[in-house]
Amino acid sequence: MERVSRRAVVAGLLILVPAAAAPLPGSPILPPELRDLWPGRRTAVSRGARSTVVGPAGASPASLDELARAADSAGARVSGVLGRPVRPLIVLPESGRDAARLARTTPFDGLAAVADGRRVIVVPEAFATLNRTGRDVVLTHELTHVVAGTGGVPVWLYEGFADYVGYRDSGLPVATAAAELAAEVRAGHLPNALPGPEAFAANGADPGRLARAYQEAWLACRFLADRFGEGTLVRLYREARVAGVDRALASLGLSVATLTARWRTYVRDRLV
């Protein structure tokens, strides 16, 4: 009981780190990915059981603590699938504009968080609109990118795999999680091909298409897990990163074309 009590106290600890006193390399205070994000300003820090969350001075301690707890849970879910310990590093900026500055990219449209190297940057305005389940799915999705990596695989596979992990323990029915795609399929519009990079363009031009792209990719990975087992999906993902998706699929007796055909049937059966 004493150990549990001490952990509860540590999980809610909020520390203010002066920006002027930048920690030396290897310092236990903050990992490099979370240092000096707001030059000239202090950094607010909340630590969970395994996660570290930072924001600029003035960030709500309750918000940082809540995010640390959510990150702990998301990290446990990722670890449960990938079989690796996960120590989430989360950044809570002041705004979407601040998030884009930290990620060195254009403003995020339609995204609630992004994986950026070894850390996850939350887009506060969009993240705040999500319910608890949505926040859990988003954090788990982005942490999957951080842990599993994305290089060497097509976008449908790395986004679909991250959504597979994200939705795995959500309890959401398929038709609810894939509501936009379900509406299209019930209207007689079954997708013809796995979504390409253009379908994932988060530019705000067609939010419905962006949502369907993620749902299509998720159901491709969900089909693979249902048909061959979750462990096989994880191995396929790792092999695809090393040897390419064609070779990884071939180990299951599939090609992109045969996977597409079976995926289309799976989508129709689950959503009609």
Instruction: Report pLDDT digits (tens) over 45-75.
Output: 999 999 999 999 999 999 999 999 999 999 9
pLDDT tens digits along 82-99: 999 999 999 999 999 999
Q: How far is 85 from 165, CA to CA, in rounded Å?
A: 15
State the average pLDDT for the chain: 89
Q: What is the pLDDT of residue 204?
A: 63
Numbered ranges of CATH 3.40.30.160 in the chain: 30-148
Q: What is the pLDDT of residue 224?
A: 98
Give the domain 30-148 fold: Glutaredoxin (3.40.30)
Q: Does residue 44 or residue 6 have the better pLDDT?
A: 44
Q: How far is 55 from 30, CA to CA, in rounded Å?
A: 12
Q: What is the pLDDT of residue 9?
A: 25
Q: Report CA-CA distances (Å) from 5 to 8, 63, 164, 256.
A: 5, 21, 34, 52
Q: Report CA-CA distances (Å) from 166 to 11, 116, 157, 257.
A: 23, 17, 14, 26
pLDDT tens digits along 129-149: 999 999 999 999 999 999 999
Q: What is the pLDDT of residue 201?
A: 83
